[in-house]
Amino acid sequence: MTQGWQLKNIYLYLVSFVTLMMIIFGLISFIHNLARASFPVDYSYYQTLMDIEREYTNNNREVPPVSELEQIRDERITSEQNRNRAYLLRDLIGSLTVWLIPIPFYIYHWRKIQYELFPRKGDIPA
């Protein structure tokens, strides 16, 4: 026995559809970010010693010795790599939440549809 296309039923189906789409796209995004974390490809540009030396001369500062330039370069590379890892982790957590948070909403609304529109013998309507 169905109750037809009442506003409440349309709402339940729409919420179920939207949350299901969020779950699917969140899962796709999570898998994509997990693959990026598992197989990282670094497209970052790292400054050379000559770039750092040019930076000092353009700012009218004394150019440090090569050993200090190497240390500055290594610190910048490490900083950039840490920043990239942090962005990747943030994206991974974000996609995980977009995947997991809608699940209880979907389950609740889909069960509500099942109980109200298609009651089984022994079900108590909510």
pTM of the model: 0.69
Cβ proximity of 106 and 72 under 8 Å: no
Does 28 map to a domain? yes
> How confident is the model at residue 119, as a pLDDT?
75
Does 1 map to a domain? no
> How confident is the model at residue 126, as a pLDDT?
54
Does 85 map to a domain? yes
Could you list the residue range(s) of the whole structural domain that residue 45 is in? 7-117
**How many structural domains are present in the chain?**
1
> How confident is the model at residue 8, as a pLDDT?
87
Does 97 map to a domain? yes
Residues in the chain: 126
Residues of the chain scoring pLDDT < 70: 1-4, 122-126
Does 88 map to a domain? yes
Does 86 map to a domain? yes
Q: What is the pLDDT of residues 23-47, one digit of tens each?
A: 999 999 999 999 998 988 877 788 8
How far, in Å, are 43, 46, 77, 88, 97 from residue 81 at the CA level?
A: 11, 10, 6, 11, 24
Does 124 map to a domain? no
> How confident is the model at residue 30, as a pLDDT?
94
> How confident is the model at residue 34, as a pLDDT?
93
Does 126 map to a domain? no
